[in-house]
Amino acid sequence: MPINRESTAKRGLNPDRMPKSLAIVMDGNGRWALERGKERIEGHLRGVEVVRHIVTECCELGLDQLTLYCFSSENWKRPRRELEFLMALLKQYLIDERELILNQNIKFRMIGRRQGLSAEVLQELDETTRISSENTGLTLAMAINYGARGEILDAVQSLARRIKSGELDPDQIDEQAIANSLYTAGMPDPDLLIRTAGEYRISNYLLWQISYSEFWFTHTCWPDFDVPLLHQAFRDFAARERRFGGLITHPTV
């Protein structure tokens, strides 16, 4: 899907210097709530509203892919009440956003392990994936029960099983074979990774895929993240020189 040149120009963005694939670590929901004397779940509720605005804007701009880190495999360590709320919120989000997903021609995908998720959540994930499978606009990938080390482990085990069955020769394993065995098979690697809430770490997110991604950090917590801040990240991205290990005089995206 080509970048929407008219929409980017209206926003003062350079259509030739836009990321086509964006990944976001949506951090700081609980912190945002506690700083305001609210329960952590209030931050998650506000965070869902922000997701809606950011997804809509990425559709308007013509991005190919948006990958959101929603729930990590490490998040199961959180209090039971918060976990139950997060799973209920995820289920409701999938139901409530289907109309928007269809109206905006969004193709939905989940990346992560299905084990551990309830049958009710898996049912809604599968239904949203099914009804949007023929859409040709933005691919919205939600990382749920996701951890990059687990993803790589699963890929290695998958390749090992293929070798054991005689389907694959070890010498045939290259970078593409590994990429094709990851949860993100067929998806573009992120051009830009955004993390909110002032944390400067990757937190086990897309470790293979972000090898050449640009990083952009903000101290703003996710519930306060907005479209103007997204545009600022895009402008900063446009000013960077992406060499991919080489030397160039005039950088291109």
Encode pLDDT of 116-143 as tens digits: 999 999 999 999 999 999 999 999 999 9
Residue with tokens 């030397």: 247
Q: Render pLDDT for 178-218 as a digit per residue (tens, 0 to 9).
A: 999 999 999 999 999 999 999 999 999 999 999 999 999 99
Q: Which two tokens stand for residue 24?
A: 């976001």
CA dihedral (58, 253, 5, 226) in degrees, to 10, reads: 30
The residues near 102 (Cβ < 8 Å, ≥ 6 apart) are 131, 132, 135
Q: Binding-site residues, please?
A: 27-32, 40, 44, 72-74, 76, 78, 195, 201-203, 214
pLDDT of residue 85: 96
In sequence order, what are the beta bridge partners of 110?
142
CA dist., res. 251 & res. 46, Å (int): 38
List CB contacts of 171: < 8 A, sequence separation 6 or more. none
Residues tagged in the binding site annotation for Mg(2+)? 27, 214
Binding-site residues for substrate, in ranges, read 28-32, 40, 44, 72-74, 76, 78, 195, 201-203
- Give the contacts of 41 (CB within 8 A, at least 6 positions apart): 33, 82, 85
The amino acid occupying position 105 is: N
Pairing of strands 192-195, 214-217: parallel
Q: Which residue has the tokens 């804007």?
A: 57
CATH, range 18-147+188-237: 3.40.1180.10
Q: What are phi and psi of 192, to 5 degrees?
A: -140, 135
204: closest CA among 150, 253, 157, 245? 150
Q: Count Cβ atoms below 10 Å from residue 87 Cβ, excluding itself.
A: 16
What are 21's strand-pairing partners?
A: 65
pLDDT tens digit sequence for 23-68: 999 999 999 999 999 999 999 999 999 999 999 999 999 999 999 9
- Tell me which of 14, 75, 180, 204 is the catalytic residue: 75
Q: Which residues pair with 25 in a beta bridge?
A: 69, 195
> Would you call 180 a catalytic residue per the annotation?
no
Known catalytic residue: 96?
A: no
Q: Which residue among the candidates 4, 27, 64, 145 is catalytic per the annotation? A: 27
